[in-house]
Amino acid sequence: MGKMASWLLCILLLLCLTACTTYESELKLPPVPTTDESLPSLEEWMQSAEYMPPLKKSIVVGFSQLGTESAWRMANTTSIQDAAKESGITLILKNAEQSQTKQFEAVRSFIRQKVDVIAIAPVVESGWDDILQEAKRAGIPVIIVDRSVDVQDSSLFVTTIGSDFYEEGVKAGKYIRDRLRNVPGTIRVAELQGTSGSTPSIQRGEGFRSILAERDNIFFSQSAPADFTEDKGRQVMNRFLQVPKEERAQVLFAHNDEMAFGAIQAIQKAGLKPGEDIIIVSVDGSRKALRILADGQINAVVECNPLLGPQLMQAAKEIIAGRTLPKRMVPREDIFTQESASREMLHRRF
Ligand code: AHR
């Protein structure tokens, strides 16, 4: 390298060093914090205007309601809608109008929509294995509400939230057993069952029968399904009353209030006094039933609680949070008599 070239290289190096120094000083980098005091605490930061909470996706629950057959059912739907709103849960509600096929379609549509949790109030107990397998394959947890499902594999649903229908039947049976303990001779009982194959219809009947079995003079003389509706209750009771007087039932066990209302109309039409000529016990405890109970045309009403919304939403949240739930959750329930009816009526929500 010639002398000239060496000089040029020296000048170039000098220029480069000056430029680099200037660039660094112009940047004015902030000093690197060395202590924790220089940073706000987590709480301070979360309360500051700069803090943006991470966007939380609302939980989506698809709920297949079985129908609109009774005041109980309407109260159950409203409770679930209200609780969803209160908990910030998005609810997709489908009414199956008493059709299990429609419930299957609803579940499939929830799977397509990729909801977070599926809730089902099953119209009947049997036939759920395949559709629940589909939900399981899609990775969507299922909660059974109100009634039960009869499936081989209990891992197909997380939990059941609903009444102890057998116990409700037992309460009704005990009321009749105790009330008629001093009545001699044969006592015939007529039974208006709910929807055939539904859990409340099966279990209320079994519970009642378990108590009647203790007495050999009380037995079911007539029994038929009336679908939990007032209309059917009236029709079936009309038919029951066609028998000769000496075969007529002295007691009516109606599996819900609506059927009892229909039966009362039939009993009055036959020229008889409901609550006197025929002792009546029903289940649910709607305000209307308690008013009729206080008036003396029904003798006792076993409570069945429809307000399951808060428990259902809580369960959905727990599942999404990864917590384990008990396999069965049962609300507390009572029996109302003519003495307690007027007081209880004031607190009824349906
Ligand atoms: O499954 C609960 C029952 O269904 C209620 O007793 C009845 O009124 C309803 O329709």
| Per-residue pLDDT tens over the stretch 216-234 | 999 999 999 999 999 999 9
What's the pLDDT tens digit per position in 263-317? 999 999 999 999 999 999 999 999 999 999 999 999 999 999 999 999 999 999 9
Residue 51 C-alpha to ligand 1 middle, in angstroms?
Answer: 49
**Cα 9 to ligand 1 centre (Å):** 97
So what's the pLDDT on residue 51? 64
Which residue do the tokens 């057959």 mark? 69
- pLDDT of 17 over the 70 cut: no
Superfamily of domain 165-304: Response regulator (3.40.50.2300)
Cβ 171 vs Cβ 302: under 8 Å: yes
Ligand 1 atom, smallest distance to 284 CA = 6
CA-nearest of 115, 122, 130 to 195 is 122
> Does the pLDDT of residue 18 top 50, yes or no?
no
Among the residue ranges 61-70, 110-119, 341-350, the one predicted with the least confidence is 341-350
**Which protein residue's CA is at the shortest distance from atom 3 of ligand 1?**
200
14-26: average pLDDT: 40
pLDDT > 50? residue 29: no
- Does residue 55 register a pLDDT over 70? no
Cα of 87 vs centre of ligand 1, distance in Å, is 25
Q: How far is the CA of 40 from the centre of ligand 1 (A)?
A: 57
- Residue 277 Cα to ligand 1 midpoint, Å, equals 26
- Beta bridge partners of residue 18, listed in sequence order: none
From the list 134, 136, 141, the residue with the least C-alpha distance to 320 is 141
> What residues flank ligand 1, with Cβ below 6 Å?
69-70, 72-73, 146-147, 200, 228, 256, 283-284, 304
> Ligand 1 centre and the CA of 129: distance in Å?
23
Sign of the Cα pseudo-torsion (179, 181, 185, 191, in order): positive
Does residue 7 have a pLDDT over 70? no
Ligand 1: residue of 163, 284, 303 to mutate (most ligand atoms within 8 A of CB) is 284
- DSSP characters over 225-265: E-TT-HHHHHHHHHHHTTS-GGG--SEEEESSHHHHHHHHH
Residue 44 pLDDT? 75
Which atom of ligand 1 is least distant from the CA of 255? 6
- Same fold for the pair 60-162+307-330 and 165-304: yes
Q: For residue 57, what pLDDT band results from cuts at 50, 70 and 90?
A: confident
Closest by CA position to 103, among listed 79, 130, 72: 130
User: Which pLDDT belongs to residue 25?
Assistant: 35
| Residue 125 contacts residue 199 (beta carbons within 8 Å) | yes
* pLDDT for residue 68: 98
- Percent of residues, the chain, with pLDDT higher than 70: 86
- For residues 293 and 281, give the distance between their C-alpha atoms in angstroms, rounded to a whole number: 9
- Which segments of the chain are extended strands (E)? 60-65, 90-95, 117-120, 142-145, 159-161, 187-193, 218-225, 251-254, 279-284, 300-303, 328-329, 335-337
3-state secondary structure 18-59: HHHHHHHHHHCCCCCCCCHHHCCCHHHHHHCCCCCCCCCCCC
Ligand 1 centroid from CA 69, angstroms: 8
Mutation choice for ligand 1 from 103, 230, 256, CB with most ligand atoms inside 8 A: 256
In the block, which residue shows the tokens 């060395």? 34
Q: Which residue out of 65, 72, 258 has the highest number of ligand 1 atoms within 8 Å of its CB and is therefore the one to mutate?
A: 72
Domain boundaries, the chain: 60-162+307-330, 165-304
Ligand 1 atom closest to the Cα of residue 228 is 10
Spatial separation of the C-alpha atoms in residues 105 and 96, rounded to whole Å = 9
Q: What is the pLDDT of residues 109-141, one digit of tens each?
A: 999 999 999 999 999 999 999 999 999 999 999
C-alpha 10 – ligand 1 centre gap (Å): 98
Q: How far apart are CA 208 and CA 192, in angstroms?
A: 12
Residues comprising the chain, all counted? 350
Residue 43: predicted pLDDT: 73
- Give the ligand 1 atom nearest the CA of 67: 10
Q: How far is the CA of 315 from the centre of ligand 1 (A)?
A: 22
On average, the pLDDT of the chain sits at 91
Q: Which CATH number fits domain 60-162+307-330: 3.40.50.2300, 3.90.45.10, 3.30.300.30, 2.70.70.10?
A: 3.40.50.2300
Residue 69 burial (C-beta neighbours within 10 Å; 0-12, 13-18, 19+): buried
Name the CA dihedral angle for 208, 211, 212, 216, rounded to a multiple of 10 degrees: 170
